[in-house]
Amino acid sequence: MVNAIAQEISMRKAEVDDEVETIYFGGGTPSVLSMEEIQQLIQAVYDNYKVIDHPEITLEANPDDLSNHRIMELSESPVNRLSIGIQSFFDEDLKLMNRAHNAGEAEKCIQQATKHFDNITIDLIYGIPGMDNERWKRNIQKALDFGLPHISSYALTVEPRTALKKFIEKGVVPDVDDEQAQEQFYILVNMLEGQGFVNYEISNFGKPGFFSKNNTAYWLGKKYLGVGPSAHSFDGKHRSWNIRNNPTYIKKINEGVLPMEIETLSKTDRYNEYVMTGLRTVWGVDLDKIALEFGPNYLNYLNQQSKKYMESHLLFLQEGKLLVTKQGKFLADGIASDLFFVG
């Protein structure tokens, strides 16, 4: 698999003219790779692309993957940022979500990681059934106590065919409470902003200088190249995705064939995506960009559709940018869908 991914990196070098700013090992469990395999893939990027000095190189990992020895090894590699899947510092929440690690492992992992990495992000989940606001505040405070520079946080979503879904259906566990999730989101915003974090994207909070380059690229509509099974790519006008099946992926790559499907985005698709991503960020939706790239019909439609949200103080205009208010943040995706152009 690693050889096939390295080969795909080489096969697709003609797709990228710009310098590479960020390399991200994510999806699945990239932390199971050996240090030699991680180095092989990073070297493949350097061999085939122009890379900026000091790129952000992130590795996703769960606490149970990060032994003290593993953290030491990673700190001596080109990896300079860790994304650790904490989700909660409380065992009752972790058991409910069927996580492999416990609260003690989560804390021990961060204690060790902060000795060797300055740039660490963790993820926390809110809206967990049975987690009251006080426990949620304690979760956030524990993250703050570690002095982490970046936190990502998401509302719990109950996926079909999971143990949690079955527990909810049987009444063993209460269903997700949307009102409580919304309360916990605003608790999160207030606590983190009070400690100098910027909520630069609805689910992402960073200290100045520690915004994720990888996440920011997605939300600003920059081009990105995804390699490996199921990986998605975007070049500004096309979206592509690789086949999910591992053996088929390896077979196709070995045959010199890129196992992907490509979709060409229409002007309306691109407008809708820009509105969706822009409203989620502190950079907002630039009205001049709408006029320039999509034309007066799209701009007029956006202005007309956004009026009611401005009157209800969910959206506001600032220096030609359309932004969500603090009150509107939790509702941003729903607001964006109402601003989509249907043509």
pLDDT tens-place string over residues 117-152: 999 999 999 999 889 999 999 999 999 999 999 999
Q: In terms of domains, do 186 and 58 share one?
A: yes
Whether residue 10 lies inside any domain: the answer is no
Q: Give the number of other Cβ atoms within 10 Å of residue 244's Cβ.
A: 11
Whether residue 251 lies inside any domain: the answer is no
The two beta strands, 51-61 and 81-87, are: parallel
SS3 of 209-252: the string is CCCCHHHHHHHCCCCECCCCCCCEEECCCEEEEECCCHHHHHHH
Q: In terms of domains, do 206 and 142 share one?
A: yes
Whether residue 249 lies inside any domain: the answer is no
Instruction: Say which DSSP state 32 is in.
Output: G
Which of 154-163, 316-325, 332-341 is the least confident region? 154-163
| Contact criterion met (CB below 8 Å) for 228 and 5 | yes
Percent of the chain's residues with pLDDT above 70 = 96
| Tally of structural domains, the chain | 2
The string of pLDDT tens digits covering residues 198-245 is 999 999 999 999 999 998 998 998 999 999 999 999 999 999 999 999
**38 membership: H or E segment, kind and range:** helix 35-48
pLDDT at 31: 81
Q: In terms of domains, do 65 and 165 share one?
A: yes
Whether the predicted pLDDT of 173 surpasses 80: no
Q: In terms of domains, do 187 and 320 share one?
A: no
Confidence of residue 73 (pLDDT cuts 50, 70, 90): very high
Q: What value does the mean pLDDT of the chain take?
A: 94
The sheet that has 150-155: what strands, in order across it?
Answer: 20-25, 51-61, 81-87, 120-126, 150-155, 204-206, 198-201
| Contact criterion met (CB below 8 Å) for 44 and 23 | no
Please, how many CA atoms are within 13 Å of residue 72, restricted to the half-sphere of its CB?
A: 3
> Helices 267-279 and 287-294: crossing angle, nearest 10°?
170
Please, how many CA atoms are within 13 Å of residue 190, restricted to the half-sphere of its CB?
A: 9
End-to-end CA distance of the chain: 43
Whether the predicted pLDDT of 261 surpasses 80: yes
Confidence of residue 4 (pLDDT cuts 50, 70, 90): very high
Confidence of residue 291 (pLDDT cuts 50, 70, 90): very high
pLDDT at 164: 66
Whether the predicted pLDDT of 187 surpasses 70: yes
Q: In terms of domains, do 275 and 181 share one?
A: no
Q: Which domain holds residue 89?
A: 19-219
The string of pLDDT tens digits covering residues 21-59 is 999 999 767 888 999 999 999 999 999 999 999 999 999
